[in-house]
Structure 1
Amino acid sequence: MRIIWPQKLIWFALVSAVPLLEAAEYEYFSWRDTGHVYGKSPQCVPIPEDLRLCYSVGYNQMLLPNLLDHETMAEVRQQAGSWVPLVHKGCHAGTQVFLCSLFAPVCLDRPIYPCRWLCESVRDSCTPLMEAFGFPWPDMLNCNKFPVKDLCIAMNVTDEPERSDYTPTCPVCDSEMSTEVILERMCASEFAIKTKIKEARKDNSDRKVVLHKRKKPLRLGTLKREDLKKLVLYVKNGANCLCQALEHLQDNYLIMGRKTGKRYLLTGIHKWDKSSKEFKKAVKKLKSHKCPAYEAVFK
């Protein structure tokens, strides 16, 4: 079956202004023929500059079709763009190498897949970030598909010990105010409103966010107006992470969210700052900005 990838992941709302991470040194291990069958004969082609996910990965040529059965560069661009925000967030040093080994495989005589341990390491590090925005690790990246001992792509990762006094910022609460970041975060959300926060309190491992009654809808998506009146949001696994916005309840905020299961998750919060040109530009584009569809892949 042909794999269809999301056009805008989230995620990965998981967006930051940090430039694409330069891929660390990667290695090749002995391999076996995977038996992958292409619809077209594989060709070695340049990685285009607008393929943001992999342009800086460390090599200049890629195989097409790739290891996800994308046969045209247009399809690769469209689907790979979904994962750029995840690389931006830096949840794992090997994220770009792992994804690009599939989206833009290096030109060799035969295809080489990523090592299973690399997949598992990226998955374990990035899944909590993805879940904060309501996205699970997709089944199409099931790490059991990848080799253990045969030829595979790996990378050198230096593990730094965690500081015992470090409290992370909640992924949905970063303060980046660029237009691009806000719009990409919107694309990982279903609705956007302007409102104040009445209360924010711990709810087991999550944080419950109660909004003021007065709410100005900017983009409702699938959210109905009757649901807007009683809307309560949750920060997934946000009980103990930092979120400065939830400590200043007197301010107006741009609130973004999406429904996951029976709950509405908070996927973005930005102070309503009219003095910021970037913020004003983003708000102006919220209603008309076209976001790619990706939900079907993660159901």
Structure 2
Amino acid sequence: MFRLFFNWIIIRRIIIIAQFDNHIQAISSWSSGMDTYMSESWAVLSRMPQPSCVDIPRNFTLCHGIDYARMRLPNLVDHETLDEAVQQAAPWISLLRLNCHPDTQRFLCSLFAPVCLERAIYPCRSLCEAVKSGCEKRMQMYGFPWPEMLNCNKFPITNDMCIQPHENYQVNKSCTSCNQVGTYENILDHFCRSDLVLKVKLKSVSSNHIVVQKARSIKPRETEANLRQNDVELKLQLTENNENCPCSSAKAHRNKRYLAMAYHGRNGVLVLNLLLPWRKEKKALKMFRKLDCKTLGTQIRERARRERRKKLRAKAKAAAARLGLKMPNPRIITITCSFLSVRDLKQFDDKQ
């Protein structure tokens, strides 16, 4: 009896040991599978593009010369390479040149060329909304809807960890007519939005208006004879609400001519829209006579494409000359450019 009991204890221990071995094998198998899973996961992660910092090159026209010199890649609109970012940012240069909001470059470059920090810093929603309010109608006027990629709801509500609008722009907000830029896009845009475009001399400048004389009408053309014959003096308000604001660009001088654009405000008063020193060589001024405002958006896009092609050909020609190649034909230059390495062109561009 005692022997049977002893045998039963031994058998029971063998069973327990066997079960324990099975558990050990199961744990070992699970651990091995987990190791395989983790190694595969890390392999996938290692193939994902890791953030890096690069210098903003001079051919990155939209953002070169901004407050910082180095940008983060991939950027905040999922461009993984610098060449891709430069190419995709190029169409937005025209919007920047429209001067529709002082923070346009700040907003766009926070996405296309984000500042080089350990973690990505997005633009604040307030910055997006400010630029959108200033530029959306101007974009729609020329057939450009506000894109989904710039949907302001995607961006964080204003806090210390996002890029906010500049505050000091509010000082001269009411007097924009004297703070315009003389870009091709901005001049033609104001031309199409103005009722009166003049080449003038300034007789006097006050805190809320200017008086012009010796006016030559560019738009509408039919008023030019009347202005010249009667030597009419015109009073142009600086703001819609006749507010006081500085106009440092306006100086009354007998030999100085200006390009002045105005629209009819409330009660029929003429409100100054743009004032710039007259320059004959401006390409935009030569466009006035043949300009069709209905197709201005198309013209701006085509001009931007021509500028990009011209720059590309110039780089290809210079790089080819450096390599001892002769390419007198522009078509050959364009074709050769597609075979030259982007790195080679970039290195050449950086040396210029």
Higher relative contact order (CA 8 A, sep 6+): 1
From the two aligned structures, give the one with the greater helix fraction. Answer: 2
TM-score (normalizing by structure 2): 0.41
From the two aligned structures, give the one with the greater strand fraction. Answer: 1
TM-score (normalizing by structure 1): 0.48
